[in-house]
Structure 1
Amino acid sequence: MSRDSIIDRFLASSEKYSSKPAAWANHDGVWKYINWSNYAQKCRLFAGGLIAREVDPTSHVAILGANSPQWVIADIGAMMGQCIPTGIYATNSPSEVAYIVNHCDAAVLVVENRAQWEKFDAVRDELSSVKAVVMIKDSERVDDALVVSFDDFLESGRAHLDAVNARIDAIKIDDVATLIYTSGTTSNPKGVMLTHDNLAFTTGAAVKVVGGLLGEDCMVSYLPLSHIAEQMFTIHLAATFGYPVWYCHDIAKLRDTIAVARPTVFFGVPRVWEKFKAALENRMSEATGGKAKMLHWARAIGVEAGYERFANENLSGSLRFKYSMADRLVFKKIKAALGFDRLRIGLSSAAPIGPEVLEFFLSLDMPILEIYGQSEGSGPTTANRPRAGQARLGSVGLPLPDVQVKIAEDGEVLAKGRNIFKGYYKDEAATADALVDGWLHSGDLGQFDKDGFLTIIGRKKEIIITAGGKNIAPAKIEAMLKKIDGIGQSVLIGDGKKYLTALLTLDAERAPALALERGWPSELDALVMDEGFKKYLAEEIETVNASLARVSSVKKWTVLAQDFSIEGDELTPSLKVKRRVIDTKYAEQIAAMYAEAALAE
């Protein structure tokens, strides 16, 4: 068969690794796995369940719930049935669920539990396309004619396996394979249509970047599977290389899952790495005397060795010896305590990550490689490679093999290649805006250095235009503010205003520890009011301002005791800041920072 789809690769892996673990999940405190052979059979049965309900090819199957093997079984099973899986963020509201289900006319909705079912039930009168609701957790049964348990749905497909094989054979490489809805931070989400060729090409290109993956590798799945980045690692790369995936259904249990899984490759959005950093800093601050000196020495060696490896294949003789000592005395112990003792590659994407975070992990012998991309490019567009001369700290790397990337006259990043999406579902106007002569207009502003490494400056739509007509990209300034010890998030304000201000949040892990070190109150509400803390923050922001042009300096700021969160609707499920929500939610605090200026006019 000349066709090379993700389904073809998945079935090949299920034969090659038939008795080996494909997916690990925690069942009432006990980790259990399903092997590749059973995994593939369940996917076939899911496809058969669709056929049993007369779901036609190209129909959509919406999936709503936390990460689990069943989520992927539904996704792969839908593709096997020539249907189009469509993920919905587990944190979405009933109205947001209704929008996506209606927009894609989903024939089947897979829900994790009763709580997710209730979202559907609240708006079911608006959702006439749904023929069945499949409940993953059988223990949370719902007495409703539309509802069928996951196991019963699979069993109904057993009589249709021949028909499933026929549908698999009928898959065309240019067919739409999956629908990825954007997070919708500024408007209703758009459905990104990715073809089988998009996914297969991007998977192959990603492997060339990371240097190959093996069945002996393993990863932790914890970011929303509705997001293309998590799908790439959990579904498409796993299908291609047959490595097992450990499912973490609750991000609050991520550290526990890592400790058990001991992943060899780990993908984290910047906020996850930042929280790891804050927790490690707290623990390392407890070291005293000789241990503190040893840690300081080892971290300096880690940074030196890390930069040396970016430039050369091997460490020089003296550095190699010092690194070996630091590794034995410090690095191995820290990584083992985290569950990262087998880590080969750490990755970050989805939002800017501060250079200080990258260098922090470099100092612990855990280099993080930045990747850049978007759903419309099937995930990655550029990436740093774990090879000498092909990684640069602070950049998002080099273009993927066979992907063209260029900068438009206005600074926008454009990309072209087989990874670029087919278009937005039911939205020809948006497709025409995003795809011009085959080039994807990313909406991001970037620049190349002399060696071809790309740096992202910010989003075109997020450019702040002050009352004086100055254009300011907020990302760089926000990153500098987030470097202040104890600060969690920062959002720059100033569009149409005479000067810039900022909303800052406290880091719930690091701020209390810092307060104890400085003799300030450690309770967050009290800390933001403390005069010592206010003076410290003013000095830190003055230091930031000293490195900025006067028009870019932050004149006023407000500190929020609570960090931004998904639950508070300030962050997307992939932990990106929702600027418009924050502008509205904290309008009173923002207005107060400009009140004196208004009175003076």
Structure 2
Amino acid sequence: MVDGEHTALRFKRDGQWREMSYSELEDEVAQVAGGLVAQGIRPGDRVAVLGQTSPEWTICDLAIDRIGAVCVPIYPTSSRQEREWVLSDSGARMLITPPDDLPRGEPVAPVPRGEDEPSTIIYTSGTTDPAKGCLLTSGNLRAARESLDSLISTGVGDVVYLYLPLAHLFARMTQMMTLTRGATLAYFGGDIREIVTELTEVKPTHLPSVPRLFEKVYAKVTAFTEGMDRERVHSLVRAAFGGRLREALTGAAPIAPEILEFFAACGVPVYEAYGMTESTAVISANAPGAVRFGSVGRPLPGVEVHIAEDGEVLAKGRNVFQGYHRDDTASREALHDGWLHTGDLGALDDDGYLYITGRKKDLIITSGGKNISPANLENDLRRSRWISHAVMHGDRMPYAVALITLDAEEILPWAKENGLPEDIVELARHPRVLGMVGEVVTEANSAYSPPERIRRFAVLGHDFSQESGELTPTMKLRRKVVHDRYSALFTALYGGNLRS
């Protein structure tokens, strides 16, 4: 039982950090649950939540669960069309938009929920297809929590810093594990540019993240500490994360082994994990004492992993979802005899560590018959401080080409220092920038066989974004959108009339 006086939530208001105890959180949740009941919400009803990561989002989530209703999260970056689709398809009875005023009423007691009763419907932001609603039961969530028990060591006195969107299951599982163990959940202040500053203020012991944060820190540190004493570098890195970080967990996208090795050497262990919404966010993970860089770890307790004949990763366990909401065809494609077909390609080594090698749908087969998994080389390119995104193309073509976007936070200050135009469009075609990018491509290419290498590339005068539809809310590339939108540019890369 958690002491009610312990700090449950820490958050910023008007530039100041504030706290909410576990007893205060319980009171808030009970009142909001009462407000939902007063407005006619009953067990099994769908309630949508749309808002930035905040204490109010957590309170809504816990209140919805308390009365046996079903939480339907919506990403705040979703388009109007995407929001309307989720509300319509889920059959939501109510939409709550925290941190706006939450419904309040007389406190109500928790409503018991059966193992097979739906707890949440999460719409996956597909990289190629329209969003599908993953229906997760109370039993799925419980199984996932049990699987994570051996991985996550949070407890009373620990602080978990959360900047990921709570519409993403990775963030909600973090929320669940933090609060069931009596630790403190600290929310970012709402400005993604302030994350590094807030890490030094919050001094977290645990940090869930996507790879981009670690990639950017790695790129900055390696660029500006050349020649510095190694222990001094390690000390600076530890300080950048607040000085108390014991464990960081990364997932949702691949991360280069060299980056993980670097942070481990600095005393900031970053454990790569693997899962998806359909598996309630858990399949495998590296863990303290069981790390193999380049892998996504061993299957977590309660989860079985099998590699199909075509190389697809299959997973089975009580954590695997029951199917997509109102989409039997997609459900049958995803589930066979209890096995979840992840769509990822991978391999297991002799010690049971899982390696993800690409996505089945993303596989490039050149006209020469060479199979290329683009994510590996794309990820290597993104390790450069100058590159934000890279997208390869080459299906049924003689060789691979790529579109590359620049990291404005890095390239613009460099341009100013070097007397170049402080305009991303002009920089994208400037000979010095093209030369720098070319050097990065050449270096990355050297790790691959000739048929797998990028032969030509173009640099775009803008970055990809969620708003323009090229990225999902979790910053994954919508490859089909990019290929369709820039088809003429890809074609030009094969025509010999474009500098690269």
Scaled by the length of structure 2, what TM-score is found?
Answer: 0.93
Which whole-Å CA distance do the structure 1 matches of 2:208 and 2:397 have between them?
38
1:52 maps to 2:38:
yes
Q: Which moved more, 1:517-526 or 1:540-549?
A: 517-526
Alignment deviations for residues 91-126 of structure 1 (CA, whole Å, 9 cap, x no partner): 1111111100011111110013xxxxxxxxxxxxxx
Alignment of 1:12-411 (within 5 A): 12=1, 16-112=2-98, 136-137=99-100, 149-150=101-102, 153-154=103-104, 157-158=105-106, 161=107, 164-165=108-109, 168-210=110-152, 212-234=153-175, 236-248=176-188, 249-284=190-225, 292-294=227-229, 298=230, 326=231, 329-336=232-239, 338-387=240-289, 390-411=290-311
Give the Cα separation in 2 of the matches to 1:457 and 1:105: 37
State the 1:564 CA deviation. Answer: 2.3
Q: Structure 2 unaligned runs (5+)?
A: none
Deviation at 1:342, TM superposition (A): 0.5
Residue 398 of structure 1 and its aligned partner are, at CA, apart by 0.4
From 479, 488, 491, the equivalent of 1:591 is 491
Aligned to 1:458: 358
Following the alignment from structure 2 to structure 1, what is the Cα–Cα distance between the partners of residues 167 and 80?
16
- Aligned partner of 2:399 in structure 1 is 499
- Quick one: distance in 2 between partners of 1:330 and 1:499? 41
- Determine helix, strand or coil for the equivalent of 2:253: coil
Of 183-192 and 528-537, more deviation after overlay is shown by 528-537
**Structure with more helix by fraction:** 1
With over 3 angstroms needed to count, the CA separation of the structure-2 counterparts of 1:555 and 1:543, relative to structure 1, is: same
Deviation at 1:184, TM superposition (A): 2.7
Letter in 1 for 2:337: D
Give how far 1:49 is off: 1.5
The one-letter amino acid paired with 2:450 is: R
Give the match's secondary structure for 1:23: strand
Pairwise mapping of residues 480-519 of structure 1 onto structure 2 (< 5 A)? 480-484=380-384, 486-512=386-412
Which stretch shows the higher mean deviation, 100-109 or 530-539?
530-539
Amino acid at match of 2:141: L
Are 2:179 and 2:185, in contact at CA under 8 Å, matched by a contact in 1? Answer: no
CA-CA distance at 1:559 after TM superposition:
1.2
Letter of the 2:165 partner, please give it. P
What are the Cα deviations for residues 425-456 of structure 1, in whole angstroms up to 9, with x where unaligned?
11122111111111111010001122211110
1:549 is aligned to 449
- Alpha-carbon offset, residue 588 of structure 1: 3.2
Measure the CA separation in 2 of the matches of 1:547 and 1:281: 20
Question: Alpha carbons of 1:107 and 1:556: their partners in 2 closer, same or farther (altered >3 Å)?
Answer: same
Verify the 8 A CA contact 1:500 1:554 in the aligned structure 2. Answer: yes
Residue 578 of structure 1: aligned partner: 478
Partners of 1:486 and 1:514 within 8 A in 2:
no
Q: Is the 8 A contact 1:258 1:339 kept in 2?
A: yes
Compute the displacement of 1:518 (Å). Answer: 8.2
Q: CA deviation at 1:283?
A: 4.1
* Distance in 1, Cα, partners of 2:494 & 2:297: 39
Q: Secondary structure at the match of 1:103?
A: helix
Deviations along 1:493-532, whole A, 9 cap, x unmatched? 1123222100111222333566689887675444433334
- Say which SS state the counterpart of residue 596 (structure 1) adopts: coil
Work out the percentage of aligned pairs sharing the same amino acid: 37
- In 1, the alpha carbon distance for the partners of 2:217 and 2:468 equals 21
Distance 2:374 2:66 in 1: 44
Structure label with greater radius of gyration:
1
Equivalent AA in structure 1 for residue 451 of structure 2: V
Q: What are the superposed Cα offsets for residues 448-496 of structure 1, whole Å, 9 maximum, x if unpaired?
A: 1222111100111111122334322111121233344522221111123
Structure-2 separation of matches of 1:456 and 1:514: 35
Q: Is the 8 A contact 1:412 1:445 kept in 2?
A: yes
Tell me which amino acid in the other structure corresponds to 1:433: E
Displacement of 1:370 in angstroms is 0.3
TM-score normalised according to structure 1 size? 0.78
Amino acid aligned to 1:458:
G
- State the shift of 1:385 in Å: 0.6
For 2:22 and 2:119, how far apart are their aligned partners in 1?
A: 21
Structure 1: give runs of 5+ residues left out of the alignment: 1-11, 113-135, 138-148, 286-291, 299-325
Q: Which amino acid aligns with 1:247?
A: Y
**Which has the higher mean CA deviation after the structures are superposed, 58-67 or 259-268?**
259-268
Q: Contact between 1:282 and 1:510, CA under 8 Å: does it hold in 2?
A: no
For the residues of structure 2 that align with 1:542 and 1:330, how far apart are their CA atoms?
28
Range that drifts further, 512-521 or 186-195? 512-521
Q: CA deviation at 1:277?
A: 2.1
**Which amino acid is 1:264 matched to?**
T
Distance 1:104 1:62 in 2: 9
The amino acid of 1:225's aligned partner reads L
Aligned partner of 1:443 in structure 2 is 343
Tell me if the contact between 2:313 and 2:341 (Cα under 8 Å) persists in the aligned partners: yes
Distance 1:200 1:35, change over 3 A: same
Residue 381 of structure 1 and its aligned partner are, at CA, apart by 0.5
Q: In the aligned structure 1, how far is the partner of 2:234 from the partner of 2:382? A: 26
Q: 1:272 to 1:567 in 2, by over 3 A?
A: farther
Q: What is the CA distance between 1:278 and its match in structure 2? A: 2.9
- The amino acid across from 1:574 in the alignment is T
Distance of aligned partners of 1:485 and 1:89 in 2 relative to their CA distance in 1, 3 Å threshold:
closer
Structure 1 SS opposite 2:17: strand
Count of residue correspondences: 497
Quote how far apart the aligned CAs of 1:537 are.
3.5
The residue number in structure 1 matching 2:374 is 474
Contact 1:512 1:524 in 2 (8 A): yes
Name the Cα RMSD after superposition. 2.3
**1:391 and 1:397 in contact (8 A); partners too:** yes
